[in-house]
């Protein structure tokens, strides 16, 4: 319930930000207006002593968020990709948040497994390790199945995590509503939509059956892609709070030294990471939206291994075409094309000057393309693009949040493998192929075919639809005629008098 009881949660949040020294940093980063600053101080300063101390070795905002717990950590991770909301400097600080928390006891994990799978751990596993990873929502154990002698990953939700997240999300909703009321200018950034997006992401992560379904769908889309591997879920040994899947054996992509020592080509790996993400986003419209180092490995044979499908992104076909045209426009430095796509998609209001918008986009692109390969950054482009679109009245596109966020994260992963990676040259073949297949003559033919198929599917209903439409039109005409009739009809006494006079005249004429 998003009511007054959440004020206490906001007070505790404000107090923690004050105590850690994060309040001023956060308010400056988002350029908060005076009324928002005053409200934040009222919720924080008088109650400073109630705030959590946090780890003094961390930067202020990161220190406050980690002290407040899992929901705040997860929210901070998502905000770390929204430089348009929190500013570039704070976004960089938030990227320091690690998805690592103290694990809950292994005995608790065993009890959860027995409750969820209706069998004791010893009946399912020949071996069951201590936690090998602990995140804000779940932790992972390595185990070996009795039945197949296969190594598996056992992911288990934290105890009572659902209730804890519900409480904190309610407080986030209240905070977003207060911000929009106190600062109408903030509505362009859609604080409530950002919280709604966060809630939908977390809701999906709190049901591990949905993660298993995502892994299954992702596999179906990519099973023919060379050089890609992913662990599959065991549907018979999984539930809402427990997920058992293949163990992914490989070198984490964050360990560049080990990758080089194993003889893998880091330049090729960096390029493949970029191309893999774009191919899934553009071709399939369904992509892994949490592609940080911790969810990527390289196998002994050089295959990229992707795992942890708790956060997935999905974009419709029309949006994919728009996104591809924008990317291709920047790749070709055709700023008129990029501007036109923004206007045609309705991203920028029609009353703005398209030529002026194209020049503003040129100011975004040219400094980036004029730099050497190591300076060509998708993150910088998005940051500058947000500034330009704000000036031209473009609202935050919530359907692109995950896409933008993942692109920035993927770029960071690719550059850690190859600091000289040219992002745009790596993206060009994927974007070019997509545009050829989806925006050229072949795409027009495919669209026409789909339209014909849709019409033919509804053909048996067309006579009834046409008949109903004609009947509705005739019925409306009758109603309108009835409404108009009284205005044309003579009063009764006038008509009676007229008929009497006519009758009298006829009588006199006959007589």
Catalytic member of 246, 290, 308, 418:
290
User: 72-76, 251-255, 352-356: lowest mean pLDDT where?
Assistant: 72-76
Per-residue pLDDT tens digits for 69-113: 777 887 777 666 555 556 666 776 776 665 566 789 999 999 999
CA angle 192, 280, 335 (to 5 degrees): 70
Orientation of helix 354-369 relative to helix 378-391, angle to 10°: 160
pLDDT greater than 50 at residue 494? no
Q: Which two tokens stand for residue 490?
A: 């003579």
- The rounded Cα 184 to chain-centroid distance in angstroms is 24
Contacts of 385 (CB under 8 A, 6+ apart): 361, 364
Report DSSP letters for 455-505, one per residue.
HHHTGGGHHHHHHHHHHHHHHHHHHHHHHHHHHHSPPHHHHHHHHHHHHHH
Per-residue pLDDT tens digits for 406-460: 877 788 788 888 888 877 788 888 888 887 787 666 666 766 776 777 777 767 7
Q: How many CB atoms lie within 10 A of CB 222?
A: 19
- Residue 509: per-residue pLDDT: 46
Main-chain dihedrals φ then ψ at residue 144, nearest 5 degrees: -125, 125
Integer Cα distance of 51 and 55 in angstroms: 13
pLDDT greater than 60 at residue 217? yes
pLDDT higher for 141 or 392? Answer: 141
Catalytic status, residue 207: no
Q: Using an 8 Å Cβ cutoff, are 52 and 63 in contact?
A: no
- pTM for this one? 0.72
Task: Report H helices in 121-242.
Answer: 121-124, 161-182, 191-205, 208-222
Q: Percent of the chain, pLDDT > 70? A: 75
Among 71, 68, 70, smallest CA distance to 44 is for 68
Per-residue pLDDT tens digits for 293-328: 888 999 999 999 999 998 888 888 888 888 788 877
Q: Is 229 left (phi over 0), alpha (psi -120 to 50) or beta?
A: beta
């Amino acid at each position: 319930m998003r009511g007054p009881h959440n004020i206490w949660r906001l007070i505790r949040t404000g107090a923690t930000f004050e105590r850690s020294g994060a309040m001023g940093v956060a308010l400056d980063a988002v350029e908060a207006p005076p009324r928002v600053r005053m409200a934040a101080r009222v919720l924080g300063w008088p109650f400073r002593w109630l705030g959590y101390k946090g780890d003094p070795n961390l930067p202020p905002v990161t220190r406050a968020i980690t002290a407040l717990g899992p929901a705040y950590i997860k929210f901070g991770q998502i905000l770390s990709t929204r430089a348009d909301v929190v500013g570039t400097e704070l976004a960089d600080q938030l990227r320091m948040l690690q998805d690592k928390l103290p694990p809950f006891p292994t005995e608790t994990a065993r009890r959860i497994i027995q409750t969820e799978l209706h069998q004791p751990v010893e009946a399912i596993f020949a071996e069951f390790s201590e936690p090998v990873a602990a995140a804000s929502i779940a932790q992972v154990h390595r185990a070996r199945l009795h039945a197949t002698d296969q190594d598996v990953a056992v992911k288990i939700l934290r105890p009572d995590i659902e209730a804890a997240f519900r409480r904190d999300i309610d407080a986030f909703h209240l905070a977003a509503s207060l911000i929009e009321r106190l600062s109408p200018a903030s509505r362009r950034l859609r604080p409530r939509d950002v919280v709604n997006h966060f809630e939908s992401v977390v809701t999906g992560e709190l049901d591990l059956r949905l993660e298993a379904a995502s892994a299954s769908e992702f596999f179906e889309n990519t099973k023919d892609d060379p050089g890609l591997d992913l662990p599959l879920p065991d549907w018979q040994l999984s539930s809402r709070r427990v997920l058992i899947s293949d163990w992914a054996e490989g070198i984490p992509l964050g360990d560049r030294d080990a990758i080089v020592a194993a003889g893998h080509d880091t330049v090729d790996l960096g390029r493949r990471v970029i191309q893999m993400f774009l191919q899934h986003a553009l071709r399939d419209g369904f992509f892994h939206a949490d592609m940080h180092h911790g969810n990527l490995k390289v196998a002994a044979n050089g295959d990229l291994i992707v795992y942890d499908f708790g956060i997935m992104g999905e974009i419709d076909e029309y949006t994919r075409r728009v996104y591809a045209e924008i990317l291709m426009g920047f790749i070709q430095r055709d700023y008129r094309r990029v501007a036109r796509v923004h206007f045609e998609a309705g991203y920028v209001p029609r009353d703005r000057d398209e030529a002026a918008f194209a020049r503003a986009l040129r100011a975004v692109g040219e400094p980036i393309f004029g730099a050497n390969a190591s300076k060509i950054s998708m993150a910088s482009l998005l940051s500058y693009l947000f500034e330009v679109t704000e000036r031209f009245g473009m609202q935050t596109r919530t359907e692109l949040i995950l896409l933008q966020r993942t692109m920035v994260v993927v770029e960071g992963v690719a550059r850690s493998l190859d600091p000289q990676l040219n992002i745009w040259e790596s993206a060009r073949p994927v974007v070019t192929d997509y545009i050829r297949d989806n925006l050229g003559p072949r795409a027009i033919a495919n669209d026409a075919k789909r339209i014909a198929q849709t019409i033919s599917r509804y053909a048996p209903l067309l006579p009834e639809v046409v008949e109903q439409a004609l009947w509705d039109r005739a019925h409306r005409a009758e109603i309108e005629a009835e409404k108009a009739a009284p205005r044309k009809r003579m009063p009764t006494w006038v008509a009676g008098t007229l008929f009497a006079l006519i009758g009298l005249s006829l009588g006199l004429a006959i007589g």
